[in-house]
Amino acid sequence: MSRMKQIYSWLDARLQLGKPLMEMGEHPIPNRTASWWYVFGSAAFTLLMLQIVTGILLALVYVPSAGEAWNSLNFLNHQLTLGWFLRAMHGWGSNFMVAVVLIHMAQVFLFGAYKYPRELTWTLGVFLLLMTLGMAFTGQVMRFDQDAYWGLGIGASILSRVPWVGGSLVHMMLGGPIIAGATLSRFFTLHVFVIPGMMLAFTFLHVWMVLKLGINEWPMPGRVVRRSTYMAEYHELTAKDGRPFVPGGVWKDAVFSAAILAAVAVCAVVFGPFGPGGQPDPTIIQTAPKPDFFFLWLYSVLSYLPPSMETPFLLIAPVLGIAALLGLPFYASEGEKSWHRRPIAILALTTIAVSWGVLTHLGTYTPWSPHMDAWSGGPAIPARYLQTASPLEREGAVVFQAKQCRNCHSIGGYGGERGPALDDIATRMTEDQLIRQVLQGGGNMPAYGKNLSPAEVTALVRFLQTLHPANEPSAADAAQAATQAGH
């Protein structure tokens, strides 16, 4: 015992860390803040540490070369003892980290914790969020497979839209004219040196400010933040109704961090590592690239934007979004913290959460994409649609199938979702309208006039005209009927 004490005092006489650490541990936090709501920041920190440790362990084996990366990942997955587990921990750790950072941010926003005097803590937090997303994207590139390759292509295509310097930015990003060896090398540098280094520095300052300024108090309606009085009020609160951070608050952090680590490990064991998918050979084009989960929402946005809005949106929206996040604590540094008195904040957060959820969900099944093999790979057009059909109408069904209409239009419950299902198309469009639509396209449908002979068009439209429920007549042109009646 005394031996341990001796060693401790020898070390502390040189390190001089004992006293400041003791003070940090003993600094008072408000009693109500010792809550389970405040555990996400420390969990994000724990996950960052996990990512660093597992990342270093993977870097022992991974080969950051465009020619070898994919092979070394498969070696990790299949041949090296527990290599798959380390990859799975790193991959799931990444997903958990993005999720926990977002939850942490939402909680801080809801609790008004970005207000005076913690504006800068929030600002650094915004940068930490951006770096976390940067790590997620560059990490997806490390998994150098088809998705990574074409994901880089999407990134380069977005950068190319920047006016004047777009081409130079693409060269900078790719390290040359194409996605190749130089590209992986520089993303490896970003993923392993540049971003983690900045993240550690920012994390240190972020945590330092939390400890020095004190953790945000539990927001109470009517307890308004004013610059002139806040510090005195806060110190009074922690003195009257507070407890030392250690162990009063930190025990919950410890328990939650352990739970998060356990959750990552369980996911890693149960679900295994992410990829790698197909080999990064750009001449293999039978691929449907998709980003990782946390970028799916963006993938959806990119398919729904009208062409004319795309470039302005891509270039302006991120700037505005980041500016709004950075500007928030300076715009609203005083005032109510409680969510009971901040309806716009609640509405904003709900809107963002719902939009994110919907877009992510759409990204999981991409209804905007043609189903490339629906015309050849699925069930035939249901027999009930053809039982009473004339030979010409049946010929139309053949045209429908052979010309791949089904890649975008479902019929009998099978086919693409790009265009409307056609099971009752005859109730909505007259013969003339059908002919016009097939020949000219429009409304996001290509024109097929050049690709179909007049006979094929006639057959196809005849078939489409049979597609209506038995008890509902097909659409007819009232004017046509009237003229014909007049004759």
Interacting residues with other proteins between 262 and 281 (CB under 8 A): 279-281
Taking the complex as a whole, the smallest distance from the CB of residue 305 to other proteins amounts, in Å, to 7
Taking the complex as a whole, the smallest distance from the CB of residue 375 to other proteins amounts, in Å, to 7
Contacts of 323 (CB under 8 A, 6+ apart): none
**Contacts with other proteins in 276-315 (CB under 8 A)?**
279-283, 285-289, 299, 302-303, 305-308, 310-311
**Which CB, 20 or 282, lies closer to other proteins?**
282
* Triad 363, 365, 370: Cα angle to 5°: 105
Site string for other proteins, 384-403 (x = CB under 8 A): ------------------xx
In 3D, which of 253, 407, 172, 216 has the Cα closest to residue 329? 216
Cis peptide before 117 (omega within 30 of 0): yes
Is residue 397 within 8 Å of 463, Cβ to Cβ?
A: yes
DSSP string spanning 61-123? T----TTTHHHHHHHHHHTSTTHHHHHHHHHHHHHHHHHHHHHHHHHHHHTTTTSTT-HHHHH
Q: Is 171 in the site for other proteins (CB under 8 A)?
A: yes
Q: How far apart, in whole angstroms, are the C-alpha atoms of residue 266 and residue 334?
A: 43
Structure tokens at 286: 């039978």
**Which CB, 270 or 285, lies closer to other proteins?**
285
Is residue 384 within 8 Å of 395, Cβ to Cβ?
A: no
Q: Is 404 in the site for other proteins (CB under 8 A)?
A: yes
Taking the complex as a whole, the smallest distance from the CB of residue 356 to other proteins amounts, in Å, to 18
**Would you give the end-to-end CA distance of the chain in angstroms?**
114
Q: How many residues bind other proteins (CB under 8 A)?
A: 78
Taking the complex as a whole, the smallest distance from the CB of residue 309 to other proteins amounts, in Å, to 10
**Which CB, 279 or 427, lies closer to other proteins?**
279
> According to CB under 8 A, which one of 117, 153, 277, 412 is a site residue for other proteins?
153
Q: Is 150 in the site for other proteins (CB under 8 A)?
A: yes
Q: What share of the chain is helix, strand, coil (3-state, %, to 5)?
A: 65, 0, 30
**Contacts with other proteins in 418-477 (CB under 8 A)?**
418, 436, 439-451
> According to CB under 8 A, which one of 89, 174, 411, 467 is a site residue for other proteins?
174
**Which CB, 34 or 408, lies closer to other proteins?**
408
**Which CB, 73 or 210, lies closer to other proteins?**
73
**Contacts with other proteins in 347-376 (CB under 8 A)?**
366, 368-370, 372, 375
Structure tokens at 182: 């130089």
Structure tokens at 348: 């904003």
Site string for other proteins, 205-234 (x = CB under 8 A): ------------------------------
Chain centroid offset of residue 94 CA: 12
Taking the complex as a whole, the smallest distance from the CB of residue 483 to other proteins amounts, in Å, to 21
**Which CB, 286 or 388, lies closer to other proteins?**
286
Q: Is 142 in the site for other proteins (CB under 8 A)?
A: no
**Which CB, 259 or 402, lies closer to other proteins?**
402
Is residue 335 within 8 Å of 270, Cβ to Cβ?
A: no
Burial label, 215 (beta-carbon count in 10 A; 0-12, 13-18, 19+): buried
Taking the complex as a whole, the smallest distance from the CB of residue 471 to other proteins amounts, in Å, to 31
**Which CB, 394 or 403, lies closer to other proteins?**
403
